[in-house]
Structure 1
């Protein structure tokens, strides 16, 4: 048993080193550059810390190879739905939350609190993407908890899932403004950074659901989420191959008429891209 444990640790160590090299390549910078070497060390340190505190990444999972990607505004009930799924099928999946990865990245960057700048943002999602890949490699179904409001912003979750040929379902959580505001008083219960300002800012960044290129479902969190939790729990554990209301429609639709974004930060390169 000890030999198996050491073998698993050796495998994880090699995985972490290789994943950091992949991150370097994605960033498009030379491996020998001083800045890139520091970035590589930050990625490696953050991933190592997450592996150390995540029991699922130290043993094989029960399968199947599936990824459930949550999408929705803060306060829309994403974490609550995940909690209901966990009650139904405890210890059956790996949960990857951007709100838990970011503080680890911050500490590895030498920061006391999140700055939400480009380097932190890119590193957070690169590391989170590698955590998804590591979980799938160990045969863990994965649930991804982040806002993921745009198709381009879900790439960090799509890429490892596609590479591992995992089944994918995106869950769009919707909520009325009144209900969201009523939930603000409970925002500290799950470690979320949700505030009224964040909610209002992100509300205008949401794009039409029909842009989603993967199978998806749409849930309104104003009501009882337990039936949805049952359906998703059955899918994530392989008891069913679909969920009621699943759609697989991808078409180009007009963007909402709002003030256009003049620039954005690419998750993989960290570069500011002019629109």
Structure 2
């Protein structure tokens, strides 16, 4: 079975893919294309999966760059493929042949490109990273490599939708400290629970940074056959969960 991935017309003609869980070598709760070496999945299966992703993006396995992700606002500039030193939650590159890979399982995978300038970016944005500024920092890093804000296009891949993202009132308090108008991203749930619009928050942050952006409209939680989901795995009391990979590269 070939690997499956989704694309955004907004990023065309830049080569990219929001990979699903289909077409991988992993089994059990990781069944399919789990690309996280940090998971408890078999390492050989994960390496096979990552090699299939690299091939689909037209690069050698060593041309796929990833970085340990820690829900930060940190961005690194990537000059070559492979595992990056240190940790961060976003990468930018202006080197042809290098593919940037971000892992997610409900958080937003954001792929960005200024095709004219030859600069691409990839960000892992959960609520902590997005609130902390990882989106703005990624755009700034791209501008630092020669991109222009008005030319940058961004697409948010499969992520948890508001209807599936229940949070506590303390999270609203965290947001209100940063932005008194953040209440617009929260809808009332059951009891004191709230439903958070992570994607809406991400889109607004991208647009406020001067970037044209879209969400591809797919919820990780609602499509178990297609996407991994940390929250769904938690609700099912599963011991671990797979991670999706989203990749962008210069042509």
TM-score by length of 1: 0.24
More helix by share: 1
More strand by share: 2
TM-score by length of 2: 0.26
Pick the structure with greater CA Rg.
1
